[in-house]
Amino acid sequence: ALKISPTNLRAKYQKLINDAKIGKKERKSERIEQALASFEEYYDTCKQDIYYALALISCYLDNDRKDKALEYLYKFNKEIPDNPTLIALKANCLMSTSASNNNESEKLFTRALELDPSNETVLTMFAIFKCNRNQFEEAANLYERTIRCSRGEEKLIQYAALLYAIRAQGRAIKRLDLNFPGGFPQANSPLTSWMGRMV
């Protein structure tokens, strides 16, 4: 069974998350570093608490510290084995660190879904991974699965919109015989203007 930290302890590290967010907003790097260092002090007490694990890792990712996020992901994967969300986060970190990690990332995403086929977080992260590899049909299929297991109308609409957009992108790329090594261009990229002039 998962170990959950006492509410008062969780409140303390929630405050540290807020401190880090404020530090980032105010561009005060020393406040961010202080919050992260204090956050780490709870590791021995909270290392088997999934909420602590996700909070600490998210805090590092929010502050562009993928190196530390990965370091702790390896630790948490030993302390809380077979947790699909942690496995998917590790896959996501590896993927964003280097394209050479893509094969390992895909295996981790697949493993996470084997453990929990209806995990929304895993499904959406895996879908983004597929988009970045121009595998739009597979990404769309993952979003379809997300829609089937989603709770809440707002999320349902969001996933449906993403599904529609991804299918449209996939068809456009196929029709124009295009390939984007880093995934489909962002909205403000030159290609969008170029395509606009073709209409």
pTM: 0.71
CA distance 119 to 178: 32
Residue with tokens 């962002």: 186
The number of C-alpha atoms within 13 Å of 163 and in the hemisphere containing its C-beta is: 16
The C-alpha torsion from 78 through 82 and 88 to 94, rounded to 10°, is: 30
Q: Domain map of the chain by residue range?
A: 1-72, 109-199
Q: What is the assigned CATH class of domain 109-199?
A: mainly alpha
Q: Strands (DSSP E) along 27-158, which ranges?
A: none
Tens digit of each residue's pLDDT (9 = 90 or more) over 83-134: 999 999 999 999 888 889 999 999 999 999 999 999 988 998 998 899 888 8
